[in-house]
A and B are shown apart, each in its own frame.
Chain A
């Protein structure tokens, strides 16, 4: 076979291959591989609500406050006695089973009257002897947690939302109890929002409609 005819044969072969490829590309949308699309991220993860709601929030939302109405069950001027087991662990009465006592290490803070006022159950008592309303719980927390309270006042600890520029709008500084359960203050964990995935949202047919225009 001469070089000339070899060249011709190669050219012919290439022509055929390219023609088929061109035809393939022109008929493309159906020839493309289908891709796996993940569903859109649930809008619940965009929620800016705090982990908990404070007493003041419940009052504002006009919700059931029976939990805070101590003298519906307790008697006035008769402090309820506290009972402890043999390990000096507080026994939670069955009326308050929803309370988990995990405030402070080594069960050292297992006395209700460290914060609640035994003479008036609808008030708190702070370490420095002040009597505080339920809505003023932040001052109560601050009476023990000095450095954190100082940080919170400066906006360094906790959540602040709204306007960083205080001359342009309001800001909202969340209270301790918006994030911490006073009886079990460790910040709760949660399921993480979905991680990165390259294809998310649009259905494959939507993607096709978009590319045909």
Chain B
């Protein structure tokens, strides 16, 4: 029996076309399901509350109180630990400056891990705000820098160590490129990120000449017992997958008058932090009296608030 003799059904569907259509449909649906698989795996869909949240600068104190409560609830649900989340505002008459003594730094990397502990950085995948570069004496050539060094003892002969983190620029390129204004410079000089407003386009990461910004490629994982419960909205509260983060001079500490965590842990006293508007502060004294040799990559015009200096 040839195909031409098959009587066409009244509605134009015969056995062959039915089978063909259903085969195509089944395959198509299976492919669709497979392509949606990552979505099904996605955790932390934004809640309605989070989705409808206002822009940071437009929030009233009441709005902020609700948001902080929501974050506390979320963290408690996830980590089984009630955190203390606040939104610390910049102080009047304060502009932060960081000074780092390259003569004193021994490259022990304690600052790197103190930062991770204080700021609830993801341990897996590992995110770190500070990179300690090892460079040969007599050069400041980033091409010769190495950050995977692991000798039995530091400092090594003929090398110096240069920790690099967010330089809190006065003219920050990362802020300029943000298409949604999720990152901005506060009056005390700290460039902050609203993790609830960031869309994760990573333009800021590309714009930063210091590789100071980090992207959460996966959901950050922090062991429960290592969570720091003292949190701030613009600072160290746990981040979501798909947002940027970076050093914020330990906003939750420094805006309460404390030194940042990397400074507290430095065994060599190479790190100095303070208010540049106060002529009596340590950083003012350093910039007045010491051989402050660079702002890193001075020539790109970012004007960092992070200064490197030498003793002698």
5 smallest CB-CB distances across A and B, nearest first, come from A168-B257, A165-B257, A201-B123, A22-B34, A155-B282
Which of chain A's residues has its CB closest to B91's CB? A165
Task: Give A169's nearest chain B residue, CB to CB.
Answer: B257
A195 engages B221 (CB within 8 Å): no
CB of A164 within 8 A of CB of B254, answer yes
A193 within 8 A of B: yes
User: How far apart are B154's CB and chain A's nearest CB, in angstroms?
Assistant: 5
- Residue A48, interface by CB 8 Å: yes
Is A192 a contact partner of B221 (Cβ separation < 8 A)? no
Scan A150-172; emit 1 where CB is below 8 A from any B CB, else 0.
01001111111111110111000
Is B175 close to A, CB under 8 A?
A: no
Chain B interface size, under 10 / 10 to 19 / 20 to 34 / 35 or more: 35 or more
Report yes or no: A25 in contact with B123, Cβ–Cβ below 8 A.
Answer: no
A53 CB contacts on chain B under 8 angstroms: none
Interface segment among B64-72, B178-186, B268-276: the answer is: B268-276
B253-279 vs A, Cβ < 8 Å mask (1 yes, 0 no): 010111100011111110011110000
B11-28 residues with Cβ-Cβ distance < 8 A to A are 23, 27
Q: Which of A194, A197, A200, A202 contacts B109 (CB 8 A)?
A: A194
The verdict on A1 contacting chain B, using a C-beta distance below 8 Å, is no
Inter-chain contact A40/B123, CB cutoff 8 Å: yes
B167 within 8 A of A: no
Q: For the complex, what is the distance from the CA of A155 to the CA of B108, rounded to whole Å?
A: 22
> Chain B residues in contact with chain A, CB under 8 A?
23, 27, 30-31, 33-34, 37, 41, 43, 91, 104, 106-110, 112-114, 116-117, 123-126, 128, 131, 147-155, 219, 221, 223, 226, 254, 256-259, 263-269, 272-275, 281-282, 285-286, 289-290, 311
Known: A164-B274, A165-B275, A195-B148. A202 touches B34 (CB 8 A): no
8 Å CB contact of A26 from B34, B91, B155: B34
Pick from A13-21, A71-79, A82-90, A103-111 the stretch touching chain B. Answer: A13-21
Asked if A159 contacts B34 (CB within 8 A), the reply is no
Q: Which of B41, B150, B285 contacts A211 (CB 8 A)?
A: B41
Shortest CB-to-CB span from B38 to chain A, Å, is 9
* Interfacial residues, chain A to chain B (CB-CB below 8 A): 15, 18-19, 21-23, 25-26, 28, 37, 40-41, 43, 45-48, 50-51, 151, 154-165, 167-169, 174, 179, 187, 189-202, 206-207, 210-211, 213
Residues of B within 8 A of A167 (CB): 257
* Closest-CB distance, B42 to chain A (whole angstroms): 10
What are 23 A-B residue pairs whose CB atoms fall within 8 Å in the complex?
A22-B31, A25-B37, A41-B113, A43-B226, A45-B110, A46-B114, A46-B117, A46-B265, A50-B267, A154-B282, A160-B269, A161-B259, A162-B259, A164-B273, A164-B275, A164-B282, A190-B106, A190-B153, A195-B109, A196-B128, A199-B124, A199-B126, A202-B123
Q: How far is the CB of A26 from chain B (nearest CB, A)?
A: 6
Instruction: Give chain B residues whose Cβ lies under 8 Å from the Cβ of A37.
Output: 124
Chain A residues within 8 Å of B282, by CB = 154-156, 160, 164
Which residue from chain B places its CB closest to the CB of A16 in the assembled complex?
Answer: B27
Cβ-defined contact, B37 with A26, below 8 A: yes
Q: Determine the chain B residues whose CB is within 8 A of the CB of A163 once the complex forms.
A: 257-259
Known: A22-B30, A168-B256, A210-B221. A192 touches B124 (CB 8 A): no
